Amino acid sequence: MKEEIIKSVGIDIGTSTTQLIFSEMKIKDVTGFGKIPQTKITEKRIVYRSNIYFTPLIEREYIDAKRVYEIIKKEYEAAEIQPKDLTTGALIITGETVKKRNAKQVAEELSAMVGDFVVATAGPDLESILAGKGAGAAELSKKTGKVVANLDIGGGTTNICYFKDGEVYDTACLDVGGRLVQIENGKVTYLAPKVEQLIKEHGILLKKDTMVSDKAVKELTDLFADILSQAVGLKKSGKELEYLKTNRLIEVDQIPDIITFSGGVALCMQEEKEKYEFGDIGVFLAHSIIENKAFQRVIIEKSAETMRATVIGAGNYSMNISGSTIEYTENHFPIKNLPIGKIQLTKEEDIDFIGKEIDKIRNYFTDDGTEQIAIAMKGITCPGFLDVQKMAKNIMEAFEKNFADQVKIILIIEADIGKALGQALKRVNKNHRIICCIDNISCNSGDYIDIGQPIAGGKVIPVVVKTLVF
């Protein structure tokens, strides 16, 4: 197959800023002689970076959808890109913006206008991963063989991602950010609810509608820096860490070998700024992290990107491509926001229990068997012919028992068996269900998946595995 170039967009609507990038990706068949077909993304290149805008809001509670639309439209025109030109990409709503009352509606409306397979997503786990990849932490861990933690510190949250050998090792998110306290004309105009409780408990003299105190701000940001050091295992954790948890904390019992920082606060760590230049406490937080003794004891590497880490992650790293040994009955793509249920299938003995596993999945997702879902499994490495036939028979029987005829059989498999299993399913497909078997993709129950139009002559399929949280 010849080299194919596809275009991608990343759009980040964050607590503080909104920005876009456009990228080009080269996809090529890298199969060696006598090997299983393999197609890979061989190169990624950013071709356009937008201006950085303050995220437009209406009275703090709502995203100004009209203004965001105007920003995106203006940047598409400046880049001379049409939505139809895009093969993939992600529109990600991040940080505090996820909590705005119309966040889900805005994501859905914008996704419909920015490109057919530009996925709308929100959620701290995915944001942590995209920011870490965009900041270069994943690549740094791959090059060094070290565990690298990236802390992406934005306006509303700090997204943490551990990488080991280039792969995601763990994620976490805290309600720590530069715009949780906002200042205008020397006066405190906003305190986030959690911050109000925190300063009350610690006797910090910050109060809304009063003049700001540098000393009080420094006390708060020093506390934030200390909590961040606890989050990555540099200090023993206290009750404040649990209190500021957005969704989850780091679970692996390992102190990172290297730490990188990205996000707006990271930029302030690298460049000298006026103390209230952005009308918030981001500059103070940057200084507090630099001065924090726990962080001084670990290796800190400069990240490849700061302000643009998340948007670059969304544009360049949100998409995976399937293996080349896939099977589908017809082109019914793109399919968006499929909930995933994962079944246990890792060894030959598990084949006999496929039916019971799919029974459980059906009970979890739907009462009447009409909801479309995707079934994920690890899969058996190099199964025999009879094993594949038995798998197909058991899967088909479970679908006939549990799901209406119009429900597609969509299987997401880690092992390289998509084509063999898909072809076996076709042979027992008496009710002519649409079948799609994709391999070399890893996901879990509770995730969602978007499946795009086949590319590279129909040999591979672009997918995005994500978590939707609004």
- Give, for all 470 residues of the chain, the pLDDT tens digit: 567 899 999 999 999 999 999 999 998 877 655 455 567 778 899 999 999 999 999 988 999 999 999 999 999 999 999 999 998 888 989 888 888 889 989 988 888 788 877 777 767 888 999 999 999 999 999 999 999 999 999 999 999 999 999 989 999 999 999 999 999 999 999 999 999 999 999 999 999 999 999 999 999 999 999 999 999 999 999 999 999 999 999 999 999 999 999 999 999 999 999 999 999 999 999 999 999 999 999 999 999 999 999 999 989 888 888 888 899 998 888 898 899 999 999 999 999 999 999 998 888 777 788 889 999 999 999 999 999 999 999 999 999 999 999 999 999 999 999 999 999 999 999 999 999 999 999 988 888 899 988 988 888 899 988 866 55
What's the CA gap between 386 and 274, in Å, rounded? 70
- What residue numbers bound the domain in which 61 lies? 4-121
What does pTM read for this prediction?
0.85
Of 100, 121, 142, the last residue of a domain is 121
- Supply the pLDDT for residue 227: 98
Task: Let me know whether 385 and 457 are in one domain.
Answer: yes
The residue written with tokens 């009275």 in the block is 59
- Both 157 and 115 in one domain: the answer is no
CATH number where 133 lies:
3.30.420
Q: Let me know whether 217 and 293 are in one domain.
A: yes
Residues 303 and 158 in one domain: yes
Of 343, 409, 398, residue with least CA distance to 372: 409
CA 144 remoteness from chain centre: 24
Domain stop point among 258, 278, 308: 308
Q: Are 269 and 370 contained in the same domain?
A: no
Q: Within a domain: residue 313? A: no
424 and 359 share a domain? yes
- Region label for 136, one of left (φ > 0), alpha (ψ between -120 and 50) or beta (otherwise): left
Residue given tokens 């059989």 in the structure block: 409
Residue partners of 323: CB distance under 8 A and separation at least 6: 37, 38, 39, 416, 418, 438, 439, 440, 441, 460
CATH number of the domain enclosing 9 = 3.30.420.40
Is 349 contained in some domain?
Answer: yes
Amino acid 3: pLDDT = 78
Question: Are residues 366 and 461 located together in one domain of the fold?
Answer: yes
Q: What is the pLDDT of residue 38?
A: 64
Number of domains in the chain: 3
Shared domain for 111 and 255, answered yes or no, is no
Same domain, 82 and 161: no
